[in-house]
Amino acid sequence: MQNLKNTFAPLGRGLVKLGKALMLPIAVLPIAGLLLRLGQPDLLNIAFMAAAGQAVFTNLPVIFALGVAIGFADENHGAAALAAFVGYVILTASLGVLDDDIDMGVLGGIIVGVTAGLLYNKYKSIKLPSYLAFFGGRRFVPIVTGAACLLIAAAAYFVWPPIARVIGAFGDWTITSGNIGLFFYGIANRLLIPLGLHHILNNLVWFQFGSFEVVKEGVVTIVQGDLSRFFAGDPMAGPFMAGFFPIMMFGLPAACLAMIATAKTARKKAISGLLLSMALTSFLTGITEPIEFSFMFLAFPLYVLHSLLTGLSLVIMNILEIKLGFTFSAGLFDYLLSYGLGKNGLYLIPVGIVYALLYYFLFKWAIVKFNLTTPGREPEETDQEAAPPTPAVQAAPQAAAAGPVAAASTEAPKTEISVPAADDQSRGANYLRGLGGKDNIKTIDACATRLRLEVVNADAVDTPALKALGARGVVKAAGGAVQVIIGPEADLISDEIKKYLK
């Protein structure tokens, strides 16, 4: 069994890294959707603004190639993005000659991005003979990426048509299966969040499944995916997005109220501010991970219930023929943005109210009935452990004044490795101590709401210390993979930690 885990651990880490890398290109969609929507005749009627937004959607494959390459490259170096651009141009030009009917879409961009990022990591420091030295190091990366993409194009000529047929058949089944496909997609979307793999599933649904012909000035363009088709004007698009609005705008905020209502009296005031801020974030932006991780592991039955309710929401919205879309997530901002393009958007309000009541009373009942450990209901010993700063987070001022030997003696044994100076109480320094110090970190990066790390020793990661700093949760997976759920500030904190790693 252990051998099996060791065999699949690199694959798991690779998929997690891909999920993280996909967040960078996805982050450009809100501005594209905003420009495209505001430029429409029924709003500001500014043609060049609409064209600017549409240009982003038209060029999504190359944008994904650039973004994924940066996400995979060490130090997120821009040389990988240049290599990805060169590789994508070579891939598309080659396929245009080999078989003009082959369109790898966003998946092609992702493949090129992964290739460029991995080749950057392998060849960024390569040394060539003196007469070719100019082309060594990072300058070699676009060259080898271009060659690799030429081979990918040749291989795609033979293997992509059957792959495209399989993807198309699966996509057609997902779409034509109606409520069955929607229900299972909603459940899978939530259940994959702990692994960070939901982005991979989402990219298939949003950018690959289904096609729509856009005819403009006699030119026919094929648009793929539920998200892209929705903003291109496909009246059938939107069912794979609309069902998330009742969850993110109403359901999860109501779950926060239920957790506040069931918290211990002594902790209710302290936990209210935290949960209410997370509820407001979910309502406005659709960022839900801080809420979900607050009960995902402590009260997993609630998370299963949440996943089932999400699948059911997609079915209900489809039955009511409510079509809504989003560029980032299903919050108020995207609801207002997509309302004019959608159908029966006002129906969201009564559905959302019903979902808010469902979440509130079901969560409250389940928490009390089964005595589930949600925020504010942790055992007393956990409360006491989390209250004071731990040695890994804050060294005693007296120890700092006594010198480095005394300061080191206040550190927990598991953090007796390279850590910031004891008197450095910046946020980045404190997080680094909680993560076990500089020497414990192999790689660190961030997605929308979490730090993603590979560490030497997962046991050296001090979960209570990180929670005392404001982390919502810590996930330790096989192979030294660690995720720290923080919230929208994750990327900033990642940069603050990286300053100590240079």
**What is the set of active-site residues?**
447
What is the value of pTM for the model shown?
A: 0.68
Percent of the chain clearing pLDDT 70 (strictly above): 88
Is 326 strand, coil or helix? coil
| pLDDT at 133 > cutoff 50 | yes
Lowest mean pLDDT among 4-18, 127-141, 180-194, 413-427: 413-427
Mean pLDDT throughout 307-318? 97
pLDDT recorded at residue 199:
78
Mean pLDDT throughout 223-246? 93
Give the pLDDT band (50/70/90) at residue 446: confident
Give the pLDDT band (50/70/90) at residue 474: confident
Q: When comparing pLDDT for 45 and 323, which is higher?
A: 323
Alpha helices for 177-299 (secondary structure H): 179-191, 198-207, 226-231, 239-242, 244-245, 252-262, 265-285, 289-295
With the CA atoms of 139, 143, 148 and 149 taken in that order, what torsion angle do they form, in degrees rounded to the nearest 10? 110
| pLDDT at 216 > cutoff 50 | yes
pLDDT recorded at residue 34:
81
Helix/strand/coil (H/E/C) assignment for every residue in 339-389:
HHHCECHHHHHHHHHHHHHHHHHHHHHHHHHCCCCCCCCCCHHHHHHHCCC
Chain centre to alpha carbon of residue 221: 29
Give the pLDDT band (50/70/90) at residue 6: low
Phi and psi at residue 489, to the nearest 5°: -85, 5
Give the pLDDT band (50/70/90) at residue 164: confident
Give the pLDDT band (50/70/90) at residue 11: low
Residues 364-420: tens digit of each pLDDT: 999 999 999 888 887 654 343 333 334 333 433 333 334 443 433 344 444 344 556
pLDDT recorded at residue 315:
97
Give the pLDDT band (50/70/90) at residue 1: low
pLDDT recorded at residue 397:
38
| pLDDT at 435 > cutoff 70 | yes
Mean pLDDT throughout 302-326? 96
Give the pLDDT band (50/70/90) at residue 202: confident
| pLDDT at 50 > cutoff 90 | no
pLDDT recorded at residue 400:
38
Q: When comparing pLDDT for 66 and 381, which is higher?
A: 66
Mean pLDDT throughout 34-41? 83
Give the pLDDT band (50/70/90) at residue 15: confident
pLDDT recorded at residue 9:
63
Residues 344-360: tens digit of each pLDDT: 999 999 999 999 999 99
Count the Cβ atoms, other than its own, within 10 Å of residue 321: 12
Average pLDDT, the chain: 85
Most confident of the ranges 183-192, 252-261, 331-340: 252-261
pLDDT recorded at residue 249:
97
Phi and psi at residue 77, to the nearest 5°: -70, 140
Q: What angle do CA 216, 220, 225 make, to 5 degrees?
A: 105
| pLDDT at 434 > cutoff 90 | yes
Helix/strand/coil (H/E/C) assignment for every residue in 29-96:
HHHHHHHHHHCCCCCCCCHHHHHHHHHHHHCHHHHHHHHHHHHHCHHHCHHHHHHHHHHHHHHHHHHH
Mean pLDDT throughout 429-439? 92
Residues 140-157: tens digit of each pLDDT: 999 999 999 999 999 999
Is 441 strand, coil or helix? strand
Lowest mean pLDDT among 9-18, 137-146, 361-370, 467-476: 9-18
| pLDDT at 489 > cutoff 50 | yes
Mean pLDDT throughout 478-497? 85
Give the pLDDT band (50/70/90) at residue 255: very high
Q: How far apart are CA 108 and CA 27, in angstroms?
A: 19
pLDDT recorded at residue 196:
65
